[in-house]
Amino acid sequence: MDPVAWRQQRSFPPGAFSGVLATRRASVAVCVPARDEAETIAGVLEPLVALREDGLVDDVCVAAGPCTDATVELARAAGARIVAVGAEGLGKGDAVWRALPSLDADVVCLIDGDLVDVDAHWVEQLAGPLLRDPAVMLVKGAFARPLNADGTLDSSGGGRVTELLAKPLLARFWPELATLRQPLSGQVGVRREHLLATPIWTGYALEIGLLLDTWRAGGLAAIAEADIGTVRNRHQRLADLRAMAEGILWCASVHLEREGRLADVGAEPAEGVVERPPRAAVGLGR
């Protein structure tokens, strides 16, 4: 599928899937990976648990890493199911990989635990393309993001690592994927069967790894992007973004080596980045 056709057929505006959860025939679970998110977790979960209470999704769980604050207690009080994913602490991807055995639904939506102003319609947008089109395997949430200190919206609608690393990297080596507005979006919808069959990268490599592996498995036609509006979270200091960039670059480099386009990726992976094998290959025990 060429990028022009993709934008016409796989890129969806806000509200494109209004009401889709009420008429669904497939099951939908929402998973919120979280570690030390006491400030935001209750607000993230409120609209998601309301969807479950209204019968519009089947499960809302928090994949809880080794927390040192009240994240787990607050999440339980908010009505979420808690999945303790152990003390390894390899980040969001590891939490998703370890929680996957308990996510017994056809469609899994991932929502970050450090966000504010989460809206129930996000789940409609993330699950909608998967519920409507069996060819779609992965849905990326597109959004505008307030980047400036005064709260105004940056016209690029993306974070610093997205604009300075991910988009140029994709444009250079995987130009089909450069058409995505938010290739590193952590708000995604994915078929569970695809998630089971796909390696899961830990650390900051989860999003780019899932995107590249989905593209390899099904091409651009297997990926959709749905606008969820505005996403707000805490912004990291510029110096702290190095670890994120290194994780993304390491994952991309491994893919390039496997494709025969990079001779030697080197022996040392980025800190905290491990490629977990597909769950379908190793079984569903945590």
- Alpha carbon distance 239, 223 (integer Å): 32
pLDDT of residue 147: 58
What is the pTM for the complete model shown? 0.94
Cβ atoms of residues 61 and 83 within 8 Å: yes
Summarize pLDDT for 89-146 with one digit per residue, the tens. Answer: 788 999 999 999 999 999 999 999 999 999 999 999 999 999 999 999 999 999 987 7
Q: For residue 1, how many C-alpha atoms fall within 13 Å in the half-sphere facing its CB?
A: 21
Mean pLDDT over residues 71-87, rounded? 93
- Residue 281 to residue 267: CA distance in whole angstroms: 25
CA distances, 236 to each of 145, 224, 241, 242, 247 (Å): 14, 28, 7, 10, 16
- pLDDT greater than 80 at residue 188: yes
Other beta carbons within 10 angstroms of residue 271's beta carbon come to 12
Q: What is the pLDDT of residues 51-75, one digit of tens each?
A: 999 999 999 999 998 889 999 999 9
